[in-house]
Amino acid sequence: MTRPRTRIQQRNSETILEAALEVFSQHGFRGATLDQIAEVAGLSKPNLLYYFASKEAIHGALLSGLLETWLDPLRAMDPDGDPVAELLGYVRRKLELSRDFPRESRLFANEMLQGAPRIRAALEGELRDLVQEKSAVLQRWMDEGRLAPVHPVHLIFSVWALTQHYADFDVQVRAVLGGAKADPFPEAGRFLEVLFRRLLEP
């Protein structure tokens, strides 16, 4: 991916990626079409392909960097901080990602459901390494008696599952809570804080 040179390239690349995120996150890679993306972007199909070499290239541009955004909150967990506070902070940041970037979350979920054909390497490399590293920190905190002892990797899984659920299953969440209740996130935040506090406080 070379950086856009001109102002027009900058603007149109962004417009295309924005439209593609909308379409890919809803229909997955195979289910999305260039015509749909072009229509959402308000550009002609050949014009899309002037900026990106192929459908694959657009999808790839979206995925690359997504894992980074996804892992940043975990990276930010400070080994020298207060254990419970650090983990609650991680949960809060992850939930904010679900609230503010639900389409990115769904794009990621789609990739997982398909067996992660395009990012499996990153999962087994970068992701795995970071989880191992942070698990060691969690384990140390548990050994020191500053955190209740639970399986650290599954603990991280639980943070992912509980936070991403509010983005990926947004329709279901809102259907169950009823249309009136507008925003499920404040209550979700309070619930998750109680959950992890009770789980982790020694």
Partner DNA sequence: TCTGAAACTGACCAATTGGTCAAACCATCC
Partner DNA sequence: GGATGGTTTGACCAATTGGTCAGTTTCAGA
Distance CA 69, CA 199 (A): 27
Name which of 22 and 193 has its Cβ closer to DNA: 22
- Residue 155 near which of DNA, its own copies, none (CB within 5-8 Å, type-dependent): its own copies
Go through the chain and tell me how many residues it has.
202
Phi and psi at residue 54, to the nearest 5°: -165, 170
69 binds, among DNA, its own copies, none (CB under 5 to 8 A by kind): none
Site for its own copies (CB under 8 A): which residue of 97, 101, 110, 137? 110
Residue 114 binding its own copies, by CB under 8 A: yes
The CB-of-31 to DNA minimum distance in angstroms stands at: 9
| Structure token digits, residue 194 | 């109680």
Please tell me whether residue 115 binds its own copies under the rule CB under 8 A.
yes
Question: For DNA, which is the closer residue by CB, 12 or 164?
Answer: 12
d(CA 88, CA 107) in angstroms, rounded, equals: 25
48 within 8 A of 38, measured Cβ to Cβ: yes
d(CA 52, CA 161): 33
72, 133, 145, 157: which one contacts its own copies (CB under 8 A)? 157
Q: Reduced to 3 states, what is the DSSP secondary structure of residue 196?
A: helix
Quick check: 16 and 24 in contact, CB under 8 A?
no
Evaluate whether 23 touches 41 at the Cβ level (below 8 Å). Answer: no
* Identity of the residue numbered 16: I
Task: Looking at residues 176 to 195 of the shown chain, list those that interact with its own copies (rule: CB under 8 A).
Answer: 176-178, 187-188, 190-191, 194-195
Stretch that binds its own copies, among 39-47, 74-82, 87-95, 119-127 (CB under 8 A): 119-127
Binding partner at 49 among DNA, its own copies, none, C-beta below 5 to 8 Å by kind: DNA
| Alpha carbon distance 132, 48 (integer Å) | 40
Identify what 12 binds: its own copies, DNA, none; CB under 5 to 8 Å per kind.
Answer: DNA
CB 200 within 8 Å of CB 148: yes
Q: Which residues bind its own copies (CB under 8 A)?
A: 25-32, 106, 109-110, 112-116, 120, 123-124, 127-128, 131, 148, 150-151, 153-155, 157-158, 160-162, 164-166, 168-169, 171-173, 175-178, 187-188, 190-191, 194-195, 198-199
